[in-house]
């Protein structure tokens, strides 16, 4: 019986690997570059579109998600045909170039074109980077740790970039943020150049599309992952308010400046940081589900408070309330996202983990693809209250799906039946024969080739698997 580690593996041991450390630092620099662009882009959109900035940001971020969902799988399928180091360096150079062009923009359509190019490069970078990792980290456990590290880096980026931006904006104008971003991509490119990357993957693990199919099958058949699907939607609904509506809310409703925008984004990041740092011990004690459900409930409460704030009378007190709401949304986001890697690891055989992480990548982006346009276009057409009520309803639906599909009692080991001939006899060594062709056994249960459906308990009897 294969034992799967449930506790989060230590990530630090990975960083003794020189090439991995360089590549990881390259990825983090690029991530921070992207994060700073996000803040600066919001301010640029406001400079060009004023009250319609939400629609511009909603459109730009929708373009980003469409590119991610369509370009990433295609590039992943063909990336092995290019000299990969050159490809990664080229993508970073394109990104740096686009970002340096952004301050010179004076038309809204130019934002869309540059964002499409920038995000195409980013969408091509991520799967290529992910495909390189197993070649420089042949050990599967190291690889799984690297997947977790990548997810942790993405989470840290969303919370630390706005803080960095807030600090920078207190001394410089937002146009200079784009320079900081370009520097991030340049550092990333230099680090990639100095990394040894084998050109052709030693491991053939099928195309990205095959992996997505495997990942989607595991998602559909695993109750806790169906719950995660609902939680993805809650995170996207609340996160869209932060990403798309902060600029207009601060400048038009609160009458604040660009450092006010950065301050609210920093409050959001601060909420995420506090929870992300204090959470690991709580997750060990309580398990992922209560933490993630509490996080999602916090996000629904945060959205409800935002609605209340949007119909409240004017007054200075709204600043304090807004800071609190933005921080609460950050905290809820961290509570949902931090345990996600552990839930994915728990739900798959080591060999299927890349497929499952890839599926989560696509499915979470699909959730943002629903909520970004709502936050952008509905705000411009109908105002904050209608938009935030709509997003709160979507978040409510998401948490309902999570509560209904992810059972509270969710043990690792499940008792189930196998029919002879549907499973390798070696795996039935410890099984008990209960009928003519039926064997029963108990082990840590995940969906794989021989366990294609989740065992459902009918009248106390363990269910068939096949
Ligand atoms: Zn079994």
301-353 tens-digit pLDDT: 999 999 999 998 888 889 999 999 999 999 999 899 888 888 988 898 877 87
Q: For residue 105, is pLDDT > 80?
A: yes
Rounded to 5 degrees, φ, ψ at 463 are -90, 165
More confident residue, 436 or 458: 436
Query: For residue 2, how far is its CA from the centre of ligand 1 (angstroms)?
Result: 11
Q: Cα(342) to centroid of ligand 1, in Å?
A: 22
* Cα 419 to ligand 1 centroid, rounded to whole Å: 10
What average pLDDT does this structure show over 27-31?
A: 85
- State the distance from the centre of ligand 1 to the C-alpha of 449, rounded, in angstroms: 11
Q: Is the CA virtual torsion 318, 320, 323, 327 positive or negative? A: negative
C-alpha 448 – ligand 1 centre gap (Å)? 10
pLDDT of residue 313: 82
Looking at the predicted structure, is the pLDDT value of residue 124 above 70?
yes
The residue ranking higher by pLDDT, 291 or 192, is 291
Exposed e or buried b for every residue in 340-373, given b needs 16+ CB within 10 A?
Answer: bbbbbbbbbbeebbbbbbbbbbbbbbebbbbbbb
Residues with Cβ within 8 Å of residue 171, at least 6 apart in sequence:
none
What is the 414 CA–ligand 1 centroid distance (Å)?
A: 8
Distance of CA 5 to the CA centre of its chain: 22
Strand order in the sheet with 413-419: 432-435, 438-444, 413-419, 464-465
Pick the most confident of 142-156, 245-259, 388-402, 450-464. 388-402
Helices (H), 353-378: 353-373
Question: Can you give the pLDDT at residue 458?
Answer: 58
What is the reported pLDDT for 232?
95
- Which tokens is 187 given? 């550092």
343 alpha carbon to ligand 1 midpoint, in Å? 20
> How much distance in Å is there from the Cα of 423 to the middle of ligand 1?
8
How far does the centroid of ligand 1 lie from the alpha carbon of residue 305, in Å? Answer: 47
Q: Does 12-405 carry CATH code 1.20.1250.20?
A: yes
Q: Is beta strand 413-419 parallel, antiparallel or unpaired with respect to 464-465?
A: parallel
For the chain, what are the domain ranges?
A: 12-405, 413-465
- The CA 399 to ligand 1 mean position distance, Å, reads 31
Query: In this predicted structure, what is the pLDDT of residue 326?
Result: 96
Residue 99 CA to ligand 1 centre (angstroms): 52
pLDDT tens for 130-139 read 777 777 887 7
In whole angstroms, how far apart are CA 436 and each of 407, 427, 432, 439? 32, 18, 12, 9
Which of 16-30, 85-99, 347-361, 410-424 shows the lowest mean pLDDT across its residues?
347-361
One DSSP character per residue, 403-464 reads HHHS-S---SEEEEEEETTSS-GGGGTT-EEEETTEEEEEEE---BTTB-SPPP-BTTBPPE
Q: Residue 219 has what pLDDT? A: 93
Gap from CA of 349 to ligand 1 centroid (Å): 13
Residue 39 pLDDT exceeds 60: yes
Residue 84's alpha-carbon distances to 132, 137, 177, 336, 343, in angstroms, are: 8, 16, 29, 34, 31
Give 9 Cα–ligand 1 centroid separation in angstroms: 25
Band the pLDDT of 379: cuts 50, 70, 90. very high
pLDDT value at residue 194: 86
User: Cα(443) to centroid of ligand 1, in Å?
Assistant: 7
Q: Between residues 31 and 209, which one has the greater pLDDT?
A: 31
Distance 457 CA to ligand 1 centre (A): 15
Residues 177-233: tens digit of each pLDDT: 888 888 888 988 898 888 887 765 444 456 666 767 888 899 999 999 999 999 999
Distance from the CA of 4 to the center of ligand 1, in angstroms?
15
Q: What's the CA-to-centroid distance between 421 and ligand 1, angstroms?
A: 13
Between 82-86, 186-190, 370-374, the lowest mean confidence (pLDDT) is in 82-86
Say how many Å lie between the CA of residue 417 and the centre of ligand 1.
7
The rounded Å distance from CA 453 to ligand 1 centre is 11
Q: How far is the CA of 409 from the centre of ligand 1 (A)?
A: 19
Percent of the residues in the chain that have a pLDDT greater than 90, as a whole number: 28
Ligand 1 midpoint to CA 226 (Å): 21
pLDDT at 6: 40
Q: Average model confidence (pLDDT) for the chain? A: 84
Ligand 1 mean position to 266 CA, how many Å? 48
Distance 119 CA to ligand 1 centre (A): 43
Spatial CB neighbours of 450, under 8 Å, sequence gap ≥ 6: 418, 422, 423, 424, 427, 465
Of 353 and 414, the structure prediction assigns the larger pLDDT to 414
Q: How confident is the model at residue 360 (pLDDT cuts 50, 70, 90)?
A: confident
CA 431 to centroid of ligand 1, rounded, Å: 9
How confident is residue 80, by pLDDT bands cut at 50, 70 and 90? low
d(CA 180, CA 421): 60
| Alpha carbon of 218 to ligand 1 centroid (Å) | 15
Residue 356 pLDDT > 90: no
Report CA(432)–ligand 1 centroid distance (Å): 11
What are the structure tokens assigned to 65, written together?
């998600």
Dist. CA 337 → ligand 1 center (Å) = 30
């Amino acid at each position: 019986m294969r034992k799967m580690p449930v506790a989060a593996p230590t990530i630090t041991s990975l960083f003794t690997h020189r090439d991995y450390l360089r590549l990881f630092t390259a990825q983090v620099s690029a991530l921070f570059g992207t994060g700073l662009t996000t803040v600066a882009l919001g301010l640029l959109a406001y400079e060009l579109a004023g009250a319609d900035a939400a629609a511009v940001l909603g459109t730009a971020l929708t373009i980003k998600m469409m590119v991610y969902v369509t370009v990433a799988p295609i590039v992943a399928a063909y990336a092995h045909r290019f000299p990969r180091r050159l490809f990664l360096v080229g993508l970073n150079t394109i990104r740096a170039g686009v970002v340096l062009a952004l301050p010179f923009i004076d038309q809204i359509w130019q934002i869309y074109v540059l964002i499409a190019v920038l995000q195409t490069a980013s969408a091509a970078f991520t799967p290529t980077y992910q495909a390189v990792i197993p070649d420089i980290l042949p050990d599967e456990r190291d690889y799984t740790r690297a997947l977790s590290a990548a997810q942790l880096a993405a989470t840290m980026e969303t919370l630390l970039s706005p803080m960095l931006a807030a600090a920078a904006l207190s001394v410089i104008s937002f146009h200079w943020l784009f320079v900081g971003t370009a520097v991030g991509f340049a550092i990333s490119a230099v680090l990639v150049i100095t990394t040894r990357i084998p050109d052709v993957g030693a491991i053939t693990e099928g195309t990205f599309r095959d992996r997505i199919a495997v990942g989607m099958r595991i998602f559909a058949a695993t109750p806790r992952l169906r719950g995660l699907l609902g939680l993805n939607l809650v995170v996207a609904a609340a996160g869209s308010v932060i990403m798309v509506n902060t600029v207009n809310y601060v400048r038009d409703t609160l009458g604040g400046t660009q450092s006010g925008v950065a301050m609210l984004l920093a409050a959001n990041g601060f909420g995420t940081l506090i929870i992300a740092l204090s959470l690991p011990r709580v997750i060990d004690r309580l398990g992922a589900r209560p933490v993630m459900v509490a996080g999602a409930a916090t996000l629904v409460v945060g959205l409800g408070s935002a609605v209340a704030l949007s119909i409240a009378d004017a007054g200075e007190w709204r600043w304090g309330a807004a800071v609190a709401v933005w921080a609460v949304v950050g905290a809820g986001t961290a509570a949902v996202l931090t345990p996600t890697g552990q839930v994915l690891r728990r739900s798959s055989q080591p060999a299927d983990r890349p497929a499952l992480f890839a599926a989560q990548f696509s499915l979470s982006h699909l959730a943002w693809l629903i909520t970004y346009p709502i936050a952008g276009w509905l705000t411009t057409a109908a105002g904050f209250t209608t938009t935030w009520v709509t997003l709160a309803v979507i978040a409510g639906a998401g948490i309902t799906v999570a509560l209904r599909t992810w059972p509270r009692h969710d043990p690792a080991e499940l008792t189930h039946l196998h029919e002879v001939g549907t499973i390798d006899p070696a795996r039935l060594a410890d099984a008990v024969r209960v009928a003519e062709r039926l064997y029963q056994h108990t082990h840590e249960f995940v969906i794989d080739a021989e366990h294609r459906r989740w065992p459902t308990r009918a009248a106390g009897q363990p269910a068939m698997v096949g």
